[in-house]
Amino acid sequence: MESWKAEPIGAIRAGLGEGPVWDAEESRLIWIDIKLARLYETDITTGRTTALDLPGSPGCAALTERGDVVLAIGQDLMVLSSDGALRAIASLPKGSLGRFNDGKPDAAGRLWVGTATADGHFDCCLWRYDDEHGFSREVPDVSMSNGIGWSPDDKHMYYVDSVCHRVDTLDFDSEIGVARNRRPFSVLPDAQLPDGLCVDVEGNIWLAVWGESCVVRISPSGEKVGRVEVPTPLVTSCAFGGDGHRTLFITSASEDDSDPNAGRLYAVDVGSQGLPAARMRLNC
């Protein structure tokens, strides 16, 4: 099994860092802080990070084709324009349970975003959104929706419900945006909680593991074939970016004030090229 060690970028410490997204057009990394309700923007050359306070705790962030940032906050989708204006564009149907958590756009620009609760019940789901059809409940019986990604050929979706301790795969129809036939892909020990993930051009899945101080690389066949060591236990998510999408950026959380590495942003060259982040298509 190959191994690497991640190094910190800058000095900022998030409460619960999550959802890194590389903006290739602006050469910046955006990421969120669920606990402190912030959107971060990091210059990876200088390590300087700026923070924007948000009106609520974000679950994820995504870029639009116009370069705006979509934020899933509570049960609302909001758009942050380049001029700093923040406006709501959609809300979950009334009576929906849970708050937004992790999410990403697919290659066609539809946003896939899941919900989560802390009660351990499987009454949340993974939603699909586009501004023509609104929200559609796609994957039911979810407790803590988390990492999501797609295979390079767009025929499979990879999906994490953290409390299930595994990565699942679903058959994906990119033409109509439908994910079906959910089944286990890679199972983790019960003590390990899978969190966010990303995919490289060879089809490997890079999975952040909460509580295990690592990101694991999983082959397209579901075998664990690599490990990135992170010097803090609460590893939350990861994304490829930088020149040629060859740097793996890793977020973490801080629940221990005595750990100077907790909550920091990390980076590592793992010798792989990641798939670029898809952008959300919005007409509103």
- Catalytically active residues are 195
Residues 6 or more apart in contact with residue 278 via CB below 8 angstroms: 104, 105, 106, 107, 109
Tell whether residue 101 is among the known ligand binding residues: yes
Contact (Cβ atoms closer than 8 angstroms) between residue 88 and residue 78: yes
Tell whether residue 195 is among the known ligand binding residues: yes
Residues 6 or more apart in contact with residue 194 via CB below 8 angstroms: 146, 147, 160, 162, 165, 166, 167, 188, 207, 208, 209, 210
Residues 6 or more apart in contact with residue 255 via CB below 8 angstroms: 234, 262
> How far apart, in Å, are the Cα atoms of 82 and each of 67, 79, 103, 280?
8, 10, 21, 15
**Residue 164, helix vs strand vs coil:** helix
Tell whether residue 217 is among the known ligand binding residues: no
Site of tokens 């419900």: 161
Tell whether residue 99 is among the known ligand binding residues: yes
Tell whether residue 146 is among the known ligand binding residues: yes
Tokens representing 140 are 């039911």
List the binding residues for substrate.
Answer: 99, 101, 119
List the binding residues for a divalent metal cation.
Answer: 18, 146, 195
List the binding residues.
Answer: 18, 99, 101, 119, 146, 195
